[in-house]
A and B are shown apart, each in its own frame.
Chain A
Amino acid sequence: MNTLSTPARIRRSLLLVLGLLATVLLGATSAQASSQPPVQALHPVHIPATIQAQNVDYRIGGVLRGVDGPIADVTVTATGNGFEGEATSGANGAWSITVPEQGAYEVALDEDTLPDGIALAEGQENPREVTFANTSSATTLFLFGEGIVSQQTSFLETLTERALAGFSFGLLLALSAVGLSLIFGTTGLTNFAHGEMVTLGAVLAFAFAAAGLPIAVAIVLAVIGGGLLGYVQDAGLWKPLRRRGTGLVPMMIVSIGFALALRYVIQFFFGGATRQLPGSQSEIINLGSVSISRNDLTSLIISLVVILVVAFLLLRTRIGKATRAVADNPALAAASGIDVDRVIRIVWVIGGMLAALGGILWAYYRPGVSYNMGQQILLLIFAGVTLGGLGTVFGALVGSIIVGLFVEISTIWLEADLKYVGALLIMILVLLFRPQGILGRRERIG
């Protein structure tokens, strides 16, 4: 598949278009979804008995609720389709207007009937248009008071803030991703247990801190513990498997088994609860017009420094050159006198340490330590690595930063619980256009 003939190329671009269409369709449904929440965030509407008794088909209604509770005796009118109706909110704040048919109505709230001291929140349209087609009732919410006024920050400020948070998140992903990518580069293993190596770092830091050590010492010990796990893993599991000549797919499945076992071992000792590391609450620092929490800023600086150190080691030291040689061609590296097994062992130790550090920073970023925290970002780490190109260290760095930025910036438009979807979709899309990733080489794909 390395060289494409013209028809194949045309077919591929056709498929791309199809895939894009599908993605756009998916995107459209989720966009639709995010425009809905004002309607469904409503409390169940309790209709006053007098109105319920009429029991007619089409209704416009809502609940008027201020900071102090429901607002009664407020007049709301609906006009449209040659109809005019009026209702007064009941003791529970609910109002409902029966209308003759579906369609668009202008709904107005009479602000003169509002009690003293209560006013519509800023940006609340009044009168407003309410449209309904397929349902028998439509709800519209009027929001009151300062308590619910949406915060007005400029878009650019929000964007910078999200981007800064995303950069911090991306760099902590990169810590784990660089380790994963190094391991993949030197051994060919797609390590599904990397998420548990991330978790273990945070859990160890928590355990050492809970034992009374100062947090800085606990973090250092946890990182050393992560390195130890890498060492033990390679010595006890992966090296013997390489000796046996186990294929890459079986090794991948073994790593899944290992991940499951390790995850539940951690849960066995740590329990299912989420706990906080010392200092997980930190103040917000204002940098000009942009604010970031102190922990996020510290995390950003630490990961940046560590990644620069790793890059220096890879580019400037003997062992770094040896690592790159093994990643390029293990047999040739062995032939030129490099001890391949030793290099791989060092890569596992470094990968374990980086993952542990990434886990600790992730525990501060979320914030919280839980037994499945590593599993939650495993796919994002994979996304970063695949985006950049499997096996390329700097690709993993670039890919992770893109994923981090994308996750955080997408929360401006997407609901927060969908923020990982964007990052995963972007990974699939990049694989469509450039299967080898941004910095990857062609021969790495099948």
Chain B
Amino acid sequence: MDFGNILVNAFGELISPTTAAYALAALGLAVHFGYSGLLNFGQAGFMAVGAYGYAISTLSFNAPLPVAVLVALLASVVFAIVLGIPTLRLRADYLAIVTIAAAEIIRYIVTTNGLTDVTGSANGLAAFEGGFYDLNPFPPGTYNVGPLGMNERDFWIRIVGWSVVIIACLVVWLLMRSPWGRVLKGIREDENAVRSLGKNVYAYKMQALVIGGVLGSLAGIIFTLPRGAVQPANYATELTFFLYTCLLLGGMATVLGPVIGAMIFWVVLSLTQGLLYGAIEVGAITFLSNSQAGQLRYILVGVALMLLMVFRPQGVLGNKKELAFA
């Protein structure tokens, strides 16, 4: 068992673009759930809207990169508004069911054979990342980040991904300490009290839903760029639940919580994978196959989500007073 290699892999997950995408999407959930108390279970849908919005406008309409990103963001704004109109007046558990249903509707629609020309159905779309890598200012070569070497493409996507995460964190931090953010937190604590102060609760919730959704959409683009492909199976309900695990790990009403949560999530997954596979390889564990070891990790995710919720709902960074529920 090569511990050095396992640690390097874990470090790779720490800065991988997938981690950045998870951090960004979980930050969107923090805006929804942590700050506004909206139980959005459809974040995977927002990510799918972003990824498909980008891929389809690039492939079907030959849109340049900025236009494609803009289309993806606009699509998520529209999705948030369409989703928000019927649901934002509903109680939390209804909202959860409707948002999860909406995300699944998106997934069914991009999977359907009838739209293969546009969405590629179950195979998804590929080869839309060229425009992004054309902007790469780094010359070809090997770039080292700590112990990790990577080519110029991997380096570029990491730089961009994490820059977006940092900017998004700054924006959310500024928003939440502004008067607007204080009203939002007020809504989370007591909706009726805020309404009695003359605030339009519905509008604030809608704005929060849109902002979190846009973050989810950006996350979808960053998630799909390094893969060079977007496939509907990646945007199932599990994705949302993993994002909730990240969010709860870090702390739901914090700016850095989702980022740290996503990092912990992926590092722990990578470490357990490395250790389990290593133990199977050297014969220390004989009762597991490799695929069973993979499933064992997800069993751990589920158990971790339960234990977190029961014993430390505020996460690593959070403040117990600032929970969306009593």
Chain B residues near A420 (CB, 8 Å)? 104, 108
Bound-state CA distance A407–B307 (Å) is 37
Check A264–B298 contact: CB distance below 8 A: yes
Give A444's nearest chain B residue, CB to CB.
B91
Chain B residues near A256 (CB, 8 Å)? 241, 244, 305
Chain A residues near B96 (CB, 8 Å)? 190, 252
Check B108–A435 contact: CB distance below 8 A: no
Of the listed residues A18, A256, A262, A382, the one surrounded by the most CB atoms of chain B closer than 10 A to its CB is A256
- With A260-B298, A379-B100 as known contacts, state yes or no: A428 contacts B90, CB within 8 Å: no
Check A33–B112 contact: CB distance below 8 A: yes
A residues 352-394 near B (Cβ < 8 Å) are: 375, 379, 382-383, 386, 390
B residues 195-237 near A (Cβ < 8 Å) are: 237
- With A19-B82, A267-B295, A415-B113 as known contacts, state yes or no: A250 contacts B238, CB within 8 Å: no
Chain B residues near A446 (CB, 8 Å)? 89-92, 94
B79-103 vs A, CB cutoff 8 Å, 1 = contact: the mask equals 0001001110111111011101110
- Of A113-121, A241-249, A336-344, the one contacting chain B is A241-249
Whether A150 is near chain B, meaning CB under 8 Å from some CB there, is: no
- With A249-B325, A420-B108 as known contacts, state yes or no: A415 contacts B114, CB within 8 Å: yes
Check B109–A253 contact: CB distance below 8 A: no
Bound-state CA distance A162–B307 (Å) is 45
- With A37-B114, A415-B112, A425-B105 as known contacts, state yes or no: A190 contacts B97, CB within 8 Å: yes
Whether B292 is near chain A, meaning CB under 8 Å from some CB there, is: yes
Whether A205 is near chain B, meaning CB under 8 Å from some CB there, is: no
- Which of A40, A375, A379, A432 sits near B86, CB closer than 8 Å? A432
Check B303–A261 contact: CB distance below 8 A: yes
Q: From residue B314, how far is it (CB to closest CB) to chain A in Å? A: 11
Chain B residues near A417 (CB, 8 Å)? 108, 111-113
Q: From residue A176, how far is it (CB to closest CB) to chain B in Å? A: 15
Check A427–B101 contact: CB distance below 8 A: yes
Give B308's nearest chain A residue, CB to CB.
A257
Check A418–B112 contact: CB distance below 8 A: yes
Chain B residues near A91 (CB, 8 Å)? none
Q: How many residues of A contact B (CB 8 A)?
A: 56
- With A257-B309, A382-B97 as known contacts, state yes or no: A33 contacts B301, CB within 8 Å: no
Q: From residue B54, how far is it (CB to closest CB) to chain A in Å? A: 19
Q: From residue A59, how far is it (CB to closest CB) to chain B in Å? A: 17
Q: From residue B240, how far is it (CB to closest CB) to chain A in Å? A: 9
Q: From residue B76, how far is it (CB to closest CB) to chain A in Å? A: 15
B59-92 vs A, CB cutoff 8 Å, 1 = contact: the mask equals 0000000000000000000000010011101111
Q: From residue A143, how far is it (CB to closest CB) to chain B in Å? A: 18
A residues 163-187 near B (Cβ < 8 Å) are: none
Bound-state CA distance A291–B90 (Å) is 42
Bound-state CA distance A379–B237 (Å) is 10
Bound-state CA distance A27–B322 (Å) is 41
Give A33's nearest chain B residue, CB to CB.
B114
Check A250–B325 contact: CB distance below 8 A: yes
Give B116's nearest chain A residue, CB to CB.
A40
Q: From residue B304, how far is it (CB to closest CB) to chain A in Å? A: 7
- Which of A244, A264, A435 sits near B299, CB closer than 8 Å? A264
Bound-state CA distance A267–B305 (Å) is 19
Chain A residues near B306 (CB, 8 Å)? 254, 257-258, 261
A residues 249-306 near B (Cβ < 8 Å) are: 249-250, 252-254, 256-265, 267-268, 272
Check B101–A379 contact: CB distance below 8 A: yes
- Which of B89, B102, B117, B241 sits near A260, CB closer than 8 Å? B241
Give B307's nearest chain A residue, CB to CB.
A257
Bound-state CA distance A33–B248 (Å) is 40
Chain B residues near A386 (CB, 8 Å)? 94, 97
Q: From residue A288, how far is it (CB to closest CB) to chain B in Å? A: 33
- Which of A1, A15, A34 sits near B114, CB closer than 8 Å? A34
Chain B residues near A435 (CB, 8 Å)? 89-90, 94
Of the listed residues B86, B105, B295, the one surrounded by the most CB atoms of chain A closer than 10 A to its CB is B86
Check B104–A22 contact: CB distance below 8 A: no
Give A446's nearest chain B residue, CB to CB.
B91
Q: From residue B292, how far is it (CB to closest CB) to chain A in Å? A: 6
29 pairs across A/B with beta carbons < 8 Å? A15-B85, A19-B82, A22-B82, A30-B112, A33-B114, A36-B114, A36-B117, A246-B310, A249-B324, A250-B310, A252-B96, A254-B305, A254-B306, A256-B244, A261-B299, A261-B306, A262-B302, A267-B295, A268-B299, A379-B97, A382-B97, A390-B94, A417-B113, A421-B109, A424-B102, A428-B86, A431-B90, A435-B90, A445-B90
Could you list which residues of chain B lie within 8 angstroms of chain A, going by C-beta atoms? 39, 82, 85-87, 89-94, 96-98, 100-102, 104-105, 108-109, 111-117, 237-238, 241, 244-245, 248, 291-292, 295-296, 298-299, 301-310, 313, 324-326
Could you list which residues of chain A lie within 8 angstroms of chain B, going by C-beta atoms? 1, 15, 18-19, 22, 30, 33-34, 36-37, 40, 190, 241, 244, 246-250, 252-254, 256-265, 267-268, 272, 375, 379, 382-383, 386, 390, 415, 417-418, 420-421, 424-425, 427-428, 431-432, 435, 444-446
